[in-house]
Amino acid sequence: MKNKIIIISGDPNSINSEIIFKSWKKINNSVKKKIYFISSYKLMVKQSKILKNSVKIIKVKNIYEKSKSIDLKVIDQNLKFKNAFKVPFPEVSKYVINSLNLGHKLGLNKNVKGIINCSIDKKIFKKKIGVTEYLATKCKVKNNTEVMLIKSKKLAVCPITTHIDIKEVSKKINPNKIINKVKNIDLWYKKNFNQKPKIGILGLNPHNSEMTKNSEEKRIIVPSISKLKKKGININGPFIADTIFVSNYKKYDVIVGMYHDQVLAPFKSLFKFDAINITLGLKYLRISPDHGTGIDLIKKGKANPISLIRCIEFVNNLKK
């Protein structure tokens, strides 16, 4: 039975420990028993003392170590540090990648329901990628068909391209990528919610480049929509990006955009951090809080745990 939840504590130079401790106080005891953290035990204890946290932290060897404890269980990862919130970058990079690799391995386990990774500084990767792309590579996902889906209770958004420079977007969008990603979204909603989602898709250019003959809208996006409709997918567009989020987004379950900030910026303006980041197309369920490392908030006690709480609730409640 899949009931274990793995949480990767992520970047140590961040608000992650604060939101973990705050979340732990708000989730119920039955859920706490299912959760195992991939983290540095000594670091967690040190940061706990600095943050004046009262949550008890214990060390376990693995997820097979039977424990009904409601204490915070840590599968210990080696991390050398002197200052608990200023760990040197080389150590952070090695530690986070090793933690992600273990999370990937555990995600494949039949007893694990899903993995949650807390925020990281993407500089730990040598290339311009994020955790979405890193785990997709680990899962040997072909043709960039993994999907970054940012979801609140009222709406989800998906960028066709993810962590790339804006100048590269036009070169990276094509019918196969659009069709495969939208099909994955449609399939995921049907599988998990028994729902045929209403999907709206955006153009790339301002005013859809007036739909001129050589525009990406005419050459790539419109033909993709036509093919998706023929496959029975409930999709409409391309809509103009500067007006869809005024009110028309309410007609849809998912808004698909061509690049990261085209959909993420308005989405976060609407829903703040009451949302989660889900990767579709992997060999396991992977989600993460919808915020960054928040280095300007470290040790200030102001970090909002709601997104991590939503992640835990989502994994726990998902029927699998």
Which pLDDT belongs to residue 67?
A: 65
pLDDT digit string (tens) for 166-195?
999 999 999 999 999 999 999 999 998 999
Q: What is the pTM of this model?
A: 0.90
Which pLDDT belongs to residue 66?
A: 66
Which pLDDT belongs to residue 254?
A: 98
Q: How far apart are CA 290 and CA 310, in angstroms?
A: 10
1-141+282-320 shares its CATH topology with 143-281: yes
* Token pair listed for 156: 């989800």
pLDDT digit string (tens) for 29-63?
999 999 999 999 999 999 999 999 888 999 999 88
Domain boundaries, the chain: 1-141+282-320, 143-281
Which pLDDT belongs to residue 4?
A: 93
Residue 111, amino acid:
N
Confirm if 123 and 101 have CB atoms less than 8 A apart: no
Which pLDDT belongs to residue 133?
A: 86
Q: How far apart are CA 148 and CA 287, in angstroms?
A: 9
Half-sphere exposure at residue 79, Cβ-oriented, CA atoms within 13 angstroms:
36
* Token pair listed for 253: 């379950």
Q: Does the domain made of 143-281 have the CATH classification 3.30.70.20? A: no
Which pLDDT belongs to residue 237?
A: 95
Which pLDDT belongs to residue 1?
A: 54
The helix or strand, by DSSP H or E, that contains position 193, with its residue range, turns out to be helix 175-193
For the chain, list residues with pLDDT below 50: none
Q: Does the domain made of 1-141+282-320 have the CATH classification 3.40.50.720? A: no
